[in-house]
Each structure stands twice: as C-alpha cells, then as structure tokens.
Structure 1
Amino acid sequence: MAIKHNQTLISNHFRKDWQRRVRTHFDQPGRKTRRRTARQAKAAALAPRPVDKLRPIVRCPTLKYNRRVRAGRGFTLTELKEAGISKSLAPTIGVSVDFRRQNLSEEGFAANVARLKAYKERLILLPPQVQRPQEG
C-alpha cells in the first residue's frame, strides 16, 4: 500500500547513537605533545647521527611560487661529483640522491655543492670495526 498525501513517517526514528559517528579532536593538544616527545626520543636514540637525510635546496615550480625555496627530493649526480662524493657512498652517509633531477641554474647548483661540502666537513665516520680503523 503506497503512502499518499502528507502523512507522518511511521516507526522511523532518526535519533540513533550519533556520538559514535562524530569525530571530535579534543585530543589535539595531547597528540601534539606526544608527537614532540616522540621526535625528541628519536633524536636522542640516534644521538650523533642526524634524524633526517640531507636534502638539496630547490625552487618551487610555477610562476606563483618560484621565489620560494624548499627542500628537494635529492641531490643530482653532477652535484655529488662536484662535491667529491660517489653516488654509491651518498645514501650510506645520509645524503639523499635524485637520479632524475637536472640542474637548471648555476646559482642553485653552486648552493647545493656548497651545502654538500659543508656537510662533508662536519661528517665524522666511525669505523665499522674498532680494531682496524681506516686511513682518513
């Protein structure tokens, strides 16, 4: 039997448990402190090592954002070669490498090479075996 005209809906209630379905963010300040302490614990556990890999400085694409600089995906092979780091050694000492990236400007290339050289000067490599330290 079809319903005609303006009758009330029978035996339908829309007062279900809505609190189970609503997502609240009252735990946001607690999560913020938890993330911060986790980052500090990770940095303390890695002690002398850096927490993240070394990444190049690149300019954002498009006309709107190209005055802004950010961290890129990885250094180019020519930047590594100019800094005196082999492409097989780079990932083992915490330097990210991007095989696809190209150098489009001399200023960016020089800045990234200087960044690599400064990192290489600060770098302290510990020998794999304490009994036989390597030269240099």
Structure 2
Amino acid sequence: MKHNNEIPGSHSRKHWQNNVKTWFNQPARKTRRRVARQEKAVKIFPRPTSGPIRSVVHAQTLKYNMKVKAGKGFTLEELKAAGIAKKLAPTIGISVDHRRKNRSLEGLQSNAGDSTLQELANATQVQGDYMPIAREKVAMEVVKVTADMKAFKAYDN
C-alpha cells in the first residue's frame, strides 16, 4: 500500500503479499547509516561533521530582531578580519556568504573573534552541534510588594 489511504478490508486473498511493503531491513539500514557517518567523520577530519561553521546573525523584523541564530555564512569582511582567505575558508569547513553586509561593529566583532592559544591547543573535531548559539538572558529585578503598591488603584478616576 502507498500513501495515506484506507487499508482495504476483506478483498486481500491470493496475492496480498504484493500489496504490502515490509521494513525488515530497517535495523540494518540504521547500522549502515551510522557506519557511513563515522567513515565520513574520519574522512573529513578536522572539519566539523555537522556541516561548515556558520556565522551568528540576528533575525529580521521588529518582532524577532533580538533573536540570534545561525546565518548562511561569514562575510568577506569578517574573514579578512580573522585573516582567512575567501577561497581557503570553504576548504577548511567555514561557510562564506558574499552577499551579507556588516551593518554594525558589534556584529563584525562577534563573528571575527579569535581563539586563545589554549583553545587552539585543545581543539578537536566537532561531532554534533557546532558552536551552539547562546542567547543572553535578561536579568529580572525582584522587588518586594509593599503596602503602598497593594493600595494603589490604577483605574480609579
């Protein structure tokens, strides 16, 4: 059977096996995919396994512009600030977006920052999510509710 159709009832008699798709190879396929992922990770070492490293950008529009997310790639200006040639970047697992423009110094600095010598010495191949984008939490100020606050009537005329 194919698609999201009703399974036919009592008419399946002589050649019903032709109408049924079995998934007995599912566990073997899972193993094959896992082994293929591991082989690819060895082959592309030291590049990250989950695709090239992407820049951190802010979402568009007034509603979402405080949200940071992974962009398409680094600008040519960011690559220049980091000292990486634009032709070399894709070969070492860094994505490039030649259309993006840096509209603020903060955005440029966040994407063109350099690693410390200790971080470079401890660097390993990234397996899984590369450089998770951390959103800054806004600090909320806790205030004790006083009797004046409770007595205040905002809607009285």
**TM-score if structure 2 supplies the norm length?**
0.48
Of structures 1 and 2, the one with the larger relative CO (CA 8 A, separation 6+) is 2
Tell me by how many angstroms 1:39 deviates: 5.3
Tell me by how many angstroms 1:93 deviates: 1.2
Identify the residue that residue 92 of structure 2 maps to in structure 1: 93
1:118 aligns with 2:118: no
Identify the residue that residue 106 of structure 1 maps to in structure 2: 105
The share of aligned pairs that are identical, in percent, is 56
Q: Deviations over 1:15-59 (max 9, x none)?
A: xxxxx8xxxxxxxxxxx9998887566545545331120110000
Q: Which structure: greater helix fraction?
A: 1
Deviates more, 1:96-105 or 1:34-43: 34-43
Q: What is the letter of the counterpart of residue 76 of structure 1?
A: T
Aligned residue runs from structure 1 range 123-134, under 5 A = none
Counterparts of 1:41 and 1:85 in 2: how far apart (Å)?
Answer: 28
Gaps of 5+ in 2: 1-18, 20-29, 124-157
Tell me by how many angstroms 1:122 deviates: 3.4
Q: Deviations over 1:51-93 (max 9, x none)?
A: 1201100000011111110110011111111111111111111
Q: What is the letter of the counterpart of residue 58 of structure 1?
A: V
Deviates more, 1:79-88 or 1:40-49: 40-49
Identify the residue that residue 138 of structure 2 maps to in structure 1: none
1:83 aligns with 2:82: yes
Gaps of 5+ in 1: 1-19, 21-31, 125-136
Structure 1 segments (4+ residues) deviating >6 Å: 32-38
Tell me by how many angstroms 1:109 deviates: 0.7
Q: What is the letter of the counterpart of residue 100 of structure 1?
A: R
Counterparts of 1:59 and 1:97 in 2: how far apart (Å)?
Answer: 17
